[in-house]
Amino acid sequence: MSTEILMPALSPTMTEGNLSKWLIKKGDTVKAGDLIAEIETDKATMEVEAVDEGVVLDLLFKEGEANIPVNKAIAIIGDPKEKVEVKKEAPIEKVIEEKKIEKNIETKIENKKTDIIDTPSPKIEEDRNLSSEEITMRQALRDTMAEEMRKDNKVFILGEEVAEYQGAYKVTQGLLQEFGKERVLDTPISEHGFTGLAVGAAFKGLRPILEFMTFNFSMQAIDQIINSAAKTLYMSGGQINCPIVFRGPNGAAAQVAAQHSQDFSSWYSQVPGLKVIAPSTPYNAKGLLRSAISDPNPVIFLENEILYGLKGPVNNDINFSIPIGKANIEKEGKDLTIVTYSIMLQKSKEAALRLKEEYNLDTEIIDLQTLRPLDTETILNSVKKTNRLITVEESWPFGSVGSEIANIVQRDAFDYLDSPVIKVNSADVPMPYALSLEKLYLPQVDDIINAAKKVSYIK
């Protein structure tokens, strides 16, 4: 059997090559791995090796011949006793036929049915198992971690100062005493390393909870979060999942300035493969953290330092959870919708009270709870009812969660809108240190009220 040696493509972009030099001649016996020719490509001159074995029956081009198309036969090797058939024109194969893919005009970010659990977010006002005692957000998070660690040995926590110090913000208080140093691990200040380590542990079947002292430091580790944790399930064709929770405070604290105040909600929400949660109360912190720890995917759990001390009732059932991907209608209303999350829920509620008192506007407030997958249904239903929307969040304005919501709403509820969507965000600058400037930087109740007036055409 004779085999054709074809002009190889030696770079992803090469379409033709020049035959600089033959390293074999007719009648030579070649073995796999032998050098046969030098080919000049669009990038360089490369040596080409034989892959098949046999006697060189014919060389189809002379040295120096140029512009030979890729995949054209340049030599024939085989058994000399056999008759050689040389195809005059070796077909230039197109690897992938260009298919006409009918695409939507716009690429939609689609939530698959399976991503969304069809149970609604439980309502605190209807919860019969509500504790009489109010606890802090800090304690709600701690209790939930402890409950899940009691249930499943594979759950462990690691991070800076989580064990002996009892947590930089005391969120892990007492966990070392209860679960020991094998399951509550102090790490060095080494985010890139210990994040990669935790991701590896999750690949191998453990369920790490990784605390970033603040999400600002997750930037040291963001390659492992995005390139390893979020993408490996896909890259492995569904074989290797990464059940890990990255949690810690996100956004501004108080006067900690530019490097310690950033809100990362839209950064992480942009990444397929990650789920992103931002709780706003002790009640939903508890239900959402339980869902996050039980989830087989990597979850970014964005807490807020200022909210750690926020008190409220919780549901103490150790199986109480709030589904990921479900927003909560915090307050029903008919005149306009505010979509918000995390600490801005508090400011939005204050604004709603004043809007009622001062302008007789009945505001509907949606607390997103989960940023990815986004509960677009709840948002759209609300907009279809109130016809006016403002988004309120702490992050920078460019490409924020509110930007995506504004896009979805104009696309899917355009005819329902009575005014343009307005976004309320932080100022588009690094966070300043001075108290006065910090206040200017962050969205305030007055900013929300001004936006509400604008969408309601109130002067």
Partner 1 sequence: MNKLQKADYIKMYSFMLKIRRFEERAAQLYGMGKIGGFCHLYIGQEAVVVGILMTIDKNDSVVTTYRDHGHMIARGLDPKRIMAELTGREDGYSAGKGGSMHMFSKENNFYGGHGIVGAQVPIGTGIAFTHKYNGEKNICRTYIGDGAMNNGQVFEAFNLAALWKLPVLYIIENNKYGMGTSVDRAAAGLDLYKRGEAFGIPGEKVDGMNVFSVIEAADKAGKYVREGNGPYIIEVQTYRYRGHSMSDPAKYRTKEELDNYKQTDPIEIVKAEILKKKIATKDEIEKINKDTLEEIKNAAEFATNSPFPKDSELYTDVYL
**For residue 390, which of 313, 319, 453, 316 has the smallest C-alpha distance?**
453
Shortest distance in whole angstroms from residue 101 CB to partner 1: 8
Residues 220-239 that bind partner 1 (CB under 8 A): 223-224, 227-228, 232-239
Catalytic residue flag (residue 357): no
Give me the 273-302 binding string for partner 1, x by CB under 8 A, dash otherwise: x-x--------------------xx-----
Find the helix or strand (DSSP H, E) in which 338 lies: strand 336-340
Report the C-alpha gap between 279 and 310 in whole angstroms.
Answer: 12
Among 1, 25, 32, 105, binds partner 1 (CB under 8 A): 32
* Residue 10 or 345 having the CB closest to partner 1: 10
Starting from the edge strand earliest in sequence, which strands make up the sheet with 328-331, in order?
328-331, 363-367, 336-340, 389-392, 422-424
93 binds partner 1 (CB under 8 A): yes
Find the helix or strand (DSSP H, E) in which 55 lies: strand 54-59
Shortest distance in whole angstroms from residue 330 CB to partner 1: 27
* Residue 102 or 357 having the CB closest to partner 1: 102
Report the C-alpha gap between 20 and 77 in whole angstroms.
Answer: 20
Provide Rg for the chain, Cα atoms.
30
Interhelix angle 376-386/401-412, rounded to 10 degrees, is 60
Q: Can you name the residues that pair with 331 across neighbouring β-strands? A: 365
Burial letters 370-382, b for 16+ CB under 10 A, else e? bbbbbbbebbbbb
Residues 324-383 that bind partner 1 (CB under 8 A): none
91 binds partner 1 (CB under 8 A): no
* Residue 21 or 334 having the CB closest to partner 1: 21
Give residues with Cβ within 8 angstroms of 162, minimum separation 6: 172, 175, 176, 184, 185, 186, 187, 211
33 binds partner 1 (CB under 8 A): yes
Catalytic residue flag (residue 260): yes
SS3 assignment, position 108: coil
SS3 assignment, position 263: coil
322 binds partner 1 (CB under 8 A): no
* Residue 52 or 317 having the CB closest to partner 1: 52
| Location of structure tokens 């209860």 | 178
95 binds partner 1 (CB under 8 A): yes
Shortest distance in whole angstroms from residue 402 CB to partner 1: 24
The one segment of 3-11, 333-341, 350-358, 359-367 that binds partner 1 by CB under 8 A: 3-11
6 binds partner 1 (CB under 8 A): yes
29 binds partner 1 (CB under 8 A): no
Residues 233-272 that bind partner 1 (CB under 8 A): 233-241, 272
Residues 55-84 that bind partner 1 (CB under 8 A): 70-71
Strands annotated E in 160-206:
184-186
Report the C-alpha gap between 202 and 232 in whole angstroms.
Answer: 11
Among 65, 115, 332, 358, binds partner 1 (CB under 8 A): 115
The one segment of 47-55, 136-144, 354-362, 391-399 that binds partner 1 by CB under 8 A: 47-55
Shortest distance in whole angstroms from residue 204 CB to partner 1: 4
* Residue 72 or 349 having the CB closest to partner 1: 72
Identity (one letter) of the amino acid at 178? E
Q: 371 with 342: CB under 8 angstroms? A: no
* Residue 194 or 283 having the CB closest to partner 1: 194
200 binds partner 1 (CB under 8 A): yes
Give me the 146-185 binding string for partner 1, x by CB under 8 A, dash otherwise: ----------x-------------------------x--x
Give residues with Cβ within 8 angstroms of 119, minimum separation 6: 323, 326
51 binds partner 1 (CB under 8 A): yes
**For residue 345, which of 262, 458, 424 has the smallest C-alpha distance?**
424
Q: Which two tokens stand for residue 106?
A: 């716009």
SS3 assignment, position 192: helix
Q: Identify the active-site residue in 49, 161, 192, 260.
A: 260
196 binds partner 1 (CB under 8 A): yes
Q: Identify the active-site residue in 147, 160, 191, 211.
A: 191
* Residue 7 or 355 having the CB closest to partner 1: 7
| Location of structure tokens 């059940």 | 243
- Residues carrying an active site annotation: 191, 260
